[in-house]
Structure 1
């Protein structure tokens, strides 16, 4: 019997890593293997997941809908040959991946016999979609939503109960007949391993895609950062970047590492379960639309935030 595959898609910062962490920590008695894909030379997502599972494969510095297609299929073939055999495989796409292309890759006849795509779950960031309504017409976001078997709404608590209900109703109307759920902490596995058409899924006709191009860079520091200067850099990043994620430490009384995340104009700093890396005090991945990117300026501002 083929191992079921859950493909987790969603725009930058929608909460894909959080969902996969939840699945790995509460697998419901299943052996779950995870394949993650971060668009950057520093794979922050994989680092955050490493403490959760031994069955983790990391693909980085590209996206699995284009430059890493071969890596994905080879990694998936390797996972299916493990002993004991996993009960399920979860594949996390990068936030800039087009699931339609990945689905076609997963329908490779050799792979499909060993691991069959069962469900495509696309995460929808309620806060981002509410504050950036132009995403409703964004080609990449639309492809991610249309490729899904089920839509999972994240961060609904940030927009309020009434706004969340309105957004879910709009998603249901726009993408009928796809089921739409608000992603909760106790989401049952049956929701994720049961909505796809499984072996009835057939490859669709190839179609050209016109998706925005993205620029990415990775930045590291070997000394702690000044919080005030980092906040200055953050003001610029929030106006320029689509997404930033990393682990940082600040000079001062509390040297503990913090997980830094930026999605649009919203930034958070929370305790990190791991350090930035050997000999590092900070490691950040920056992603922007290519035509709007000035990543050199941002890395210069981050350089200025390093305490000498």
Structure 2
């Protein structure tokens, strides 16, 4: 008897939309099933994979490139290997980086060596209700491509906008696919665990043209690492004042208050600090910044972070 094909769920969305929060929820809800996760991050460190690894060991990291461009061959190799695992996997969840077009991942799943082994059951695109309509130019086109590829749109952070803003976003998204509105990336199990979409009957949607073949060229990234703990109040104030060209800040930060490690997620003017494991503490502070192409303010950002450090006199 031919074994059932492995269900594949693709999670997409622009930088900071809430994909990793959703992925953590999905992993927890699928506890007990044979599930593996592929996480792609743009930058020198795969912070998202490190966060998800605190929930499950079944994580594969594809980093420092766009999963639909520069690391697409790595994705194909990982999926081919996963198809051979025993006991056989039941589901694979792929989290695309915020710079990726998920339609290219859909096309990868249709390659001959995969389509007899795996079945795409849905593409979920997470949309940030506070930022989607503010994107311009090639960044707006990339976000539209992510939306166009979706079977389900998770309209996230709806608690942070008023009803007028929310309706404007609904109008912009249109009625092309299902939309579920959420806070903190809450997604009912029935919307993703009970799907039954067949790859053979699924229509590959037209791709929305984005200006660059390699989407990662639209962005620049920078890694900052340090061993000195940072003062949380100075850090919060500094993050609030970041230039608009910086789309995203995420990573592990050791806070002077208590000396504990926290996962930092920053988008726009909002920051979130979540406690990390004791194992993460040994890695000290490491932050990844993602900004517009050509951003040249990295030195100033480094100086700002240095100013957030707590001095020896303050610690005594």
TM-score by length of 1: 0.87
Q: 1:205 to 1:21 in 2, by over 3 A?
A: closer
Counterparts of 1:128 and 1:208, CA distance in 2 = 21
Unaligned runs of 5+ in 2: 312-316
User: What residue number does 1:192 align with?
Assistant: 192
Q: 1:248 to 1:149 in 2, by over 3 A?
A: same
The CA deviation at 1:261 is 1.5
Q: Deviations over 1:152-171 (max 9, x none)?
A: 111111124x3475256425
1:270 is paired with a residue whose SS is strand
The CA deviation at 1:50 is 0.7
Judge conservation of contact 1:246–1:260 (CA < 8 Å) in 2: yes
User: What residue number does 2:69 align with?
Assistant: 66
User: What residue number does 2:44 align with?
Assistant: 41
Match of 2:220 among 215, 221, 237: 215
Q: 1:81 to 1:73 in 2, by over 3 A?
A: same
User: What residue number does 2:314 align with?
Assistant: none
The CA deviation at 1:85 is 1.3
Counterparts of 1:188 and 1:234, CA distance in 2 = 33
User: What residue number does 1:251 align with?
Assistant: 256
User: What residue number does 1:153 align with?
Assistant: 155
Counterparts of 2:207 and 2:135, CA distance in 1 = 29
Question: Where do residues 1-308 of structure 1 align in structure 2 (5 Å cutoff)?
Answer: 1-27=4-30, 29-129=32-132, 132=134, 134=136, 138-160=140-162, 162-163=163-164, 166-167=167-168, 169-171=170-172, 174-183=173-182, 187-193=187-193, 194=195, 196-203=197-204, 209-211=210-212, 213-227=218-232, 229-231=234-236, 233-252=238-257, 254-273=258-277, 276=280, 278-280=282-284, 282-307=285-310
Counterparts of 2:53 and 2:11, CA distance in 1 = 18
Q: Report the count of equivalent residues.
A: 302
Q: After TM superposition, what 4+ stretches of structure 1 lie above 4 angstroms from structure 2?
A: 133-137, 202-208, 273-277
Counterparts of 2:115 and 2:295, CA distance in 1 = 39
Q: 1:77 to 1:274 in 2, by over 3 A?
A: farther
Judge conservation of contact 2:119–2:198 (CA < 8 Å) in 1: no
Counterparts of 2:186 and 2:15, CA distance in 1 = 23
The CA deviation at 1:204 is 5.9
The CA deviation at 1:144 is 0.3
Unaligned runs of 5+ in 1: none
Judge conservation of contact 2:254–2:281 (CA < 8 Å) in 1: no
The answer to which of 24-33 and 227-236 deviates more is: 227-236
Q: 1:64 to 1:163 in 2, by over 3 A?
A: same
Q: Deviations over 1:132-185 (max 9, x none)?
A: 26489811000000011111111111124x3475256425xx443311111367
Judge conservation of contact 1:9–1:95 (CA < 8 Å) in 2: yes
Q: 1:27 to 1:47 in 2, by over 3 A?
A: same
1:180 is paired with a residue whose SS is strand
Counterparts of 1:232 and 1:16, CA distance in 2 = 25
Q: 1:66 to 1:13 in 2, by over 3 A?
A: same
Q: 1:63 to 1:10 in 2, by over 3 A?
A: same
Counterparts of 1:264 and 1:293, CA distance in 2 = 19
Judge conservation of contact 1:118–1:199 (CA < 8 Å) in 2: no
Q: 1:155 to 1:208 in 2, by over 3 A?
A: closer
The CA deviation at 1:23 is 1.1
Counterparts of 1:144 and 1:266, CA distance in 2 = 23
Counterparts of 1:155 and 1:19, CA distance in 2 = 12
The CA deviation at 1:292 is 3.5
